[in-house]
Structure formats: structure tokens, C-alpha cells
């Protein structure tokens, strides 16, 4: 499939030139039908498999940050160990499975929209997100 022009557009929109490495990142991120969650390490490994060649961590970080700033990716903080990124850039909620450290999207019709009665003077709400931590029954609570 010739998604390549889509990828070059996204890169240019993000202020980046389309290069071999960056196009491969795009392929991994934007060709799957389903959105997904990943860490920088996940992504780097996937790319090195597909590319059969090393890619520099600096390139991955740079590209991911540019996409995040442009709004083509979201960053999700679960614990402070490492960052998770999300190719689903719509505002949505998450389950986090503490047994497997896995993030699971929550469809908007799985949660009633959150009704906030308070506001901070002089501040605008930028996002409202719910995080539901789950674990198998016989598990020590976090």
C-alpha cells in the first residue's frame, strides 16, 4: 500500500524530513488498523526487527516527541518508570492491568462522561481522563 505520502505529510507537518528511518517509524505506528500502546523500547525493537538494522535511540526519541507535539501521538503516564505512548489520539480512558503492565483502551460508551462541577479560576480544562487500575483478585493493592 502507498501510505508513503501520508507518512511524508505527517513528518513534514511535524517539521521533519522524511528519511528511511522515520518512514519506518511511521509504518510501525500508522499502518496498523488498530491503535495501540507502546514504550520507546517496544517501538525500537519492532523497528529493528522490520528493518534488520539498528536504529539510533536518539532518532526514535526525536521523532516520537515531534509527533507527540504535533498531536499525532499521546503520552500516558502510569507509573514513573517509563513513558507509554498511544496511537489513539482521541480523548479516551484506560484500564491498566497491574499484573501484566498492559494498557487497555476504554471505549467512550464504556464510561459515562465525567461531570466536573468545579473549575480552577483562570484555567481551561485541557483533558479529562480516567484511569482504572485492575488486578487479578488475589493481588496486593497498589
Partner DNA sequence: TCAACAGTTTAGAATTGTTTTAATGTAAAT
Partner DNA sequence: ATTTACATTAAAACAATTCTAAACTGTTGA
| Long-range contacts from 132-140, C-beta under 8 angstroms, 24+ separation | 132/93, 132/94, 132/95, 132/96, 132/106, 133/95, 133/96, 133/98, 134/95, 134/96, 134/97, 134/98, 135/97, 135/98, 135/99, 136/99, 139/98, 139/99
Shortest reach from residue 3's CB to Zn ion, in Å: 22
Stretch that binds Mn ion, among 37-45, 47-55, 76-84, 118-126 (CB under 5 A): 76-84
Grid cell of 114 as nine digits = 465525567
Closest to DNA by CB, 102 or 110: 102
**Least spacing, CB of residue 26 vs Mn ion, in Å:** 22
- 49 touches Mn ion (CB under 5 A): no
Answer for which of 27, 83, 101, 103 binds a second copy (CB under 8 A) is 83
Contact status: 128 vs a second copy (CB under 8 A): yes
Are 28 and 43 in contact by the 8 Å Cβ rule? The answer is yes
Q: Report the distance separating Cα 108 and Cα 113, nearest Å.
A: 8
Dihedrals phi, psi of 5, to nearest 5 degrees: -70, -30
Residue closer to Mn ion (CB basis): 51 or 68: 68
79 near Mn ion, rule: CB under 5 A: yes
Q: Which does 105 bind (CB under 5 to 8 A by kind): a second copy, DNA, Zn ion, none?
A: Zn ion
Residues 37-56 that bind DNA (CB under 7 A): 39-41, 53-56
User: Is there a contact between 64 and 40 (Cβ–Cβ < 8 Å)?
Assistant: yes
Q: Which of 30, 35, 46, 59 binds DNA (CB under 7 A)?
A: 59
Per CB under 5 A, residues contacting Zn ion are 86, 88, 105
Amino acid at each position: 500500500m502507498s501510505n508513503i505520502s501520508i507518512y511524508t505529510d505527517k513528518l513534514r507537518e511535524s517539521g521533519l524530513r522524511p528519511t528511511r528511518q522515520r518512514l519506518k517509524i511511521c509504518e510501525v505506528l500508522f499502518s496498523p488498523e488498530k491503535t495501540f500502546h507502546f514504550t520507546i523500547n517496544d517501538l525500537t525493537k519492532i523497528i529493528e526487527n522490520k528493518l534488520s538494522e539498528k536504529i539510533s535511540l536518539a532518532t526514535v526519541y526525536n521523532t516520537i516527541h515531534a509527533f507527540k507535539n504535533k498531536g499525532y501521538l499521546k503520552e500516558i503516564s502510569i507509573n514513573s518508570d517509563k513513558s507509554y505512548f498511544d496511537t489513539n489520539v482521541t480523548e479516551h480512558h484506560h484500564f491498566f492491568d497491574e499484573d501484566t503492565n498492559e494498557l487497555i483502551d476504554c471505549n467512550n460508551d464504556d464510561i459515562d462522561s465525567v461531570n466536573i462541577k468545579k473549575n480552577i479560576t483562570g484555567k481551561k480544562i485541557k483533558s479529562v481522563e480516567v484511569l482504572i487500575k485492575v488486578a487479578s483478585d488475589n493481588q496486593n493493592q497498589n
